[in-house]
Amino acid sequence: MDSSNENNSIMGIFYLGSVTSLEHSLPIRRCGSDIEIISNPSQSSIEILDDNGRNQSSEELVAVPQVPSFLSDGGMVRTESSSSGSLTDSICTTYENHLINKTPSQDTAKHTLGILSDDMSTVDNSVTYSSMLEGLKQNVSTKLLSESLRPPSPRAQDIYYSYKDFAAVDHRVKLHLYLHIFEDDQEELILLLRAQIVSQNIKTPFFGCIVMSTTKVYILRVTGKEGEEPEKWLKKESSWPAGCLSVVLTLPWEQGLCLEMKKSERTLLTHYLVLLQDGQRTNNFISFLSGLNLPDNYRLIVHKISNEHLLLIQQLILSVCNSDSHVQLLIIFSRCILGRSVHGNQELGVGTLVITDSSLVLTKDSVDWLFPHSSCPPQLHCAQEISNLIEVEVNGFILALYFMDEVSNSEECWNIVMETKEAVHTIVEALRSPWEHLFSLPLQIVHKDLCVLP
């Protein structure tokens, strides 16, 4: 790390890494009620229908367990400024005092937290635990903080895309649509949505745009750097008559949309995943779509995707966590680079991060399971206990999570690239609650300046 203060502020967490996750019950979070938006051919309007029978959510107050005796007895824990390295100092002070003033009643804390040696006589009091933690931190930095492991930040785009007013389109892109993309006379632009798109036929994500006009729906592919002369980098992938877009589904945790196309009653359905990777962007689009006065040839139904996907995720986390674990967050990432001290480094494409109240789970880089009635469940790539999390670093669109596993004597870093800074913040907040309940300490976040690496 660049700063010794940042190193000191978080490394003390390591010796608490074996804490057993709290077993508090939180239901799987579900989103708001389903919305059906049906275009009325006679009035060219949209009607929103609420399905009252499907929206059920509840929250329970969680009882926070009492802090273990050796963390609260005798005023051992010191409260200082979050920027002064107090987290390391507090835990190290507690740890060292515990070795000197060990009492029989503290054996329970030793067993629960797993931070003391089984043979206390082997402890070398001449070695301070602060220095031990600093050495471990340097080891993590050497192995995992190499610039070669850090993904580049998404570049600032020269083209303007709005995720609130989807009819506000960059004038260069708009001209390109009218000159080179639109197929019908008197065709007018309704909206444009930029996202990562996955076709059910190809299943390889690509950046592109969904364009709705008065007569057609277009799937466009971004083939190069977005800037001047859109005709060089924005190509038509496919086009559909407006009436073929029959259903718009919202994905779990509002991570995007699924467009359902059907040319005739005799043809099979074609689906496109539109990955926005940000709940607010998804909600903005649904709200914008519901406020449109669409032409008569659009007959849209908008609703949530079926609960089968929630069941698939529940099965995934049950393969990793205990039966009492519940999903806190599901979010789709653009890219993830894993730095590992044992198995080497690895890069994942578009995949899913699931956070429960005790673990973090990464799926393999495939989102095929998000298609309706998919026969491909999400596949586990790797997982980490929240108790192994020792540092959280935010660098613009990039979130770096550092783990240290005492049991396997391994270190690991997840560099997760998101589409928006808001999505990074959402992940941090989902981690904060279970981590702080586990350690009874505030989760400190290291903020870095956004830098673009080659």
The whole-number pLDDT of residue 318 equals 84
Output the pLDDT for position 138. Answer: 54
pLDDT attached to residue 157: 55
Which residues in the chain show pLDDT less than 70? 1-157, 323, 342-343, 449-454
Alpha-carbon gap, residue 76 to 82, rounded angstroms: 17
Q: Which CATH class is domain 4-30+137-145+308-447?
A: mainly beta
- What is the pTM assigned to this prediction? 0.67
Helix or strand holding residue 413 (H, E) = strand 410-417
Q: Could you tell me where the DSSP H helices lie in 12-128?
A: 69-72, 86-100, 107-113
pLDDT digits (tens, 9 = 90+) for 405-424: 888 888 999 999 999 999 99
* Beta carbons within 10 angstroms of residue 4's beta carbon: 11
Inter-CA distances, 225 with 95, 156, 233, 415, 419, Å? 53, 11, 7, 23, 16
Residue 319: per-residue pLDDT:
83
What CATH number has the domain spanning 155-304? 2.30.29.30
CA distances from 343 to 24, 366, 412 (A): 33, 21, 9
* φ/ψ bin of 312: left (φ > 0), alpha (ψ from -120 to 50), beta (otherwise): alpha
Which token pair is 200?
Answer: 């059910």
Task: Tell whether the torsion through CA atoms of 286, 291, 296 and 299 is positive or negative.
Answer: positive
pLDDT tens digits, one per residue of 243-274: 999 899 999 999 999 999 988 777 788 999 99
DSSP 355: E
In 143-269, beta strands by DSSP E: 189-199, 206-213, 216-222, 234-241, 245-250, 256-261
The C-alpha atoms of residue 305 and residue 77 are separated, in whole angstroms, by 48
Q: Where in the chain is the domain with CATH 2.30.29.30?
A: 4-30+137-145+308-447, 155-304
DSSP 3-state percent helix, strand, coil across the chain (nearest 5): 30, 30, 40
Sheet strands side by side (includes 335-340): 346-348, 335-340, 410-417, 398-405, 389-395, 445-447
pLDDT of 161 reads 95
Task: Give me the pLDDT at residue 247, please.
Answer: 92
What is the C-alpha to C-alpha distance for residues 318 and 212, in angstroms, rounded to an integer? 41
